[in-house]
Amino acid sequence: MVSPMRKTLTAVGVLVTTLVAGARAQAPASVSLSFADAVRRAAASAPVVELAGLQTSEADARVRQARSAFLPSLALSAGWVNRDFNSHSLGITFPTIPGQPPFPELIPAFNNYDARITATETLLDFSSSSRLRAARAQADAGGAEQTAVVEGAAQGAALAYLRAARAAASAGARRADSSIAAELVHLAEAQKAAGVSAAIDVTRARTQLVVAEGLLVVASSESERARIDLARALGIDPATPLVLTDTLSSSLGAADVPGTRDSAVTRAVAARPDLMAEVARGVAARRTGSAIAAERLPRLSVEGDYGVNGLTAPASIATRQVAVQMTIPLIDGFRREGRLAEQDAISQESAVREQDLRQQIAADVDAALLDQRSAAAQQRIAAERLLLAEDELSEARERFSAGVAGNIEVIDAQSSLIQARDADIDARFSAAVARVSLARAVGVARTLH
């Protein structure tokens, strides 16, 4: 007979198994991701890109609002009124007729029915014309700002991918270090068993193995953290397993960048969306100022309505009205002049920002080219250092195996190899980052591959 305790344990085990299976079934599927895929995905669907697209739609909608000032407006209205009123309050005095009762001061209540269609059209409005042009310039600025956001999202995804690739390379290097440390432990134990090595050599080798395993734990954690950051940069579920198909190769982070400094600066001035956005904002500010100044000019409009009116609905008759109105603003307490001065300051601010941005573009290109040259030199040095460190470790192991030296030399050589591997990874990472920075400086981060 099965005891109640065993039944309880069995039920708990089934429940835990079901929950684990459900969690595995709900886990997101892994995604194989190349560097170019990450850049394209961020440029197309990152959250900041979607928000920028919505803001561009808002600017386009404001253009339609500004255009409405020149389109006809049409309205339908219908009403019923029942009222009485004091005739004297209207300034109406009725004469007294002999033999007739006086006209009552209070007019008795009566009904009034009115149904009407009204149309209005602006014929001439210089201010609204300038506001429409300003709204179009602001829409152009919004489109350029959206492109700038796309460039930033592409750069952010590229850098996140590079950090994840560096973290993966570091984790791989730490695994290789752990393997070497484990081999050295076996070698030290064999040397001790053969009587050609002291116990201290085994202790040193085991200490190095523990250190290598600890560094591997840290590197694995950093690799997982970099994967989460990459997922966030792409706007996907952070729990999604990402499989990076690209490593820190010499071609990672390439883009359609001109080969010379002057051509790169020329391309950047023509293609940088943040500069295009600032130019458009300056145009919009000047056109808005023109719209404020044009408020002093006459405005001409026409209005007409047609409908039926009467004391009863069946007895209503058709009535109409046509009117042409011209409005000439004179003085508004000098509020218009204050708005014009404010807009002029905004326009001057935009001009200063535009000039500064043009200089910043040249500085960005120069800095990226310097970083690229420096990273290339560091990469060559790091590669040579790595080869020397590997040779040093191989020679130290041979000397230790031959019994002509202790494993202090091996441990020192292993430490040098760890540093050389890290330097090689950092140099390749810096070179890729420099290529990404140059692409961003030129304004072609979307073409990174």
Cβ–Cβ < 8 Å for 74, 116:
no
Residue 236 CB burial class (10 angstroms; 0-12, 13-18, ≥19): middle
What whole-number distance in Å separates Cα of residue 445 and Cα of residue 449? 9
What whole-number distance in Å separates Cα of residue 83 and Cα of residue 85? 7
Residue 223 CB burial class (10 angstroms; 0-12, 13-18, ≥19): buried
Confidence of residue 2 (pLDDT cuts 50, 70, 90): very low
Confidence of residue 64 (pLDDT cuts 50, 70, 90): very high
In the prediction, which pLDDT does 5 show?
46
In the prediction, which pLDDT does 201 show?
79
Confidence of residue 101 (pLDDT cuts 50, 70, 90): confident
Residue 251 CB burial class (10 angstroms; 0-12, 13-18, ≥19): exposed
> Mean pLDDT in the chain?
86
In the prediction, which pLDDT does 324 show?
94
Strands (E), 87-203: 106-125
Per-residue model confidence as pLDDT tens digits over 291-335: 889 888 999 999 999 999 988 888 889 999 999 999 888 888 888
Share of the chain above pLDDT 70, in %: 93
Confidence of residue 182 (pLDDT cuts 50, 70, 90): confident
What whole-number distance in Å separates Cα of residue 64 and Cα of residue 57? 11
What whole-number distance in Å separates Cα of residue 254 and Cα of residue 252? 6
CA torsion 155-160-164-166 (nearest 10°) is 50
In the prediction, which pLDDT does 295 show?
86
The tally of CA atoms less than 13 A away on the side-chain side of residue 204 is 18
Cα–Cα separations (whole angstroms), residue 192 to 53, 100, 146? 70, 143, 68
CA 236 to chain centre: 14
Confidence of residue 3 (pLDDT cuts 50, 70, 90): low
CATH 1.10.3720.10 fits 30-73+125-298+335-447, yes or no: no
Which of 383, 365, 390, 369 has its CA nearest to residue 427? 383
Record the tokens describing residue 418, joined without a space: 């760890």
| Secondary element (H or E) of residue 321 | strand 317-327
| pLDDT at 25 exceeding the cut of 60 | no
What whole-number distance in Å separates Cα of residue 195 and Cα of residue 184? 16
In the prediction, which pLDDT does 167 show?
94
Record the tokens describing residue 426, joined without a space: 């950092």
User: To 5 degrees, how large is the angle CA 43–CA 47–CA 51?
Assistant: 95
What whole-number distance in Å separates Cα of residue 85 and Cα of residue 104? 11
| Secondary element (H or E) of residue 86 | strand 73-86
Per-residue model confidence as pLDDT tens digits over 360-414: 999 999 999 999 999 999 999 999 999 999 898 888 888 877 777 777 888 888 8
| Bridge partner residues of 112 (DSSP) | 81
Cβ–Cβ < 8 Å for 297, 127:
yes
Cβ–Cβ < 8 Å for 157, 39:
yes
Average the pLDDT over 265-286 and give the result: 91
Record the tokens describing residue 340, joined without a space: 């014009």
Residue 210 CB: number of other CB atoms within 10 A?
11
Share of the chain above pLDDT 90, in %: 44
In the prediction, which pLDDT does 18 show?
53
Confidence of residue 1 (pLDDT cuts 50, 70, 90): very low
Q: Domain-by-domain residue ranges, the chain?
A: 30-73+125-298+335-447
In the prediction, which pLDDT does 410 show?
82
What whole-number distance in Å separates Cα of residue 390 and Cα of residue 381? 14
CA 240 to chain centre: 21
Higher pLDDT, 107 or 430: 430
| pLDDT at 15 exceeding the cut of 60 | no
Which of 207, 223, 210 has its CA nearest to residue 173? 223
In the prediction, which pLDDT does 23 show?
43
Whether this prediction's pTM lies above 0.85 is answered by no
User: To 5 degrees, how large is the angle CA 21–CA 25–CA 30?
Assistant: 130
Average the pLDDT over 201-227 and give the result: 88
Record the tokens describing residue 291, joined without a space: 């719209």
In the prediction, which pLDDT does 27 show?
57
In the prediction, which pLDDT does 311 show?
87
| pLDDT at 121 exceeding the cut of 80 | yes
Beta-carbon contacts of residue 131 (< 8 Å; ≥ 6 apart): 66, 69, 287, 288, 291
Per-residue model confidence as pLDDT tens digits over 133-154: 889 988 998 898 998 899 999 9
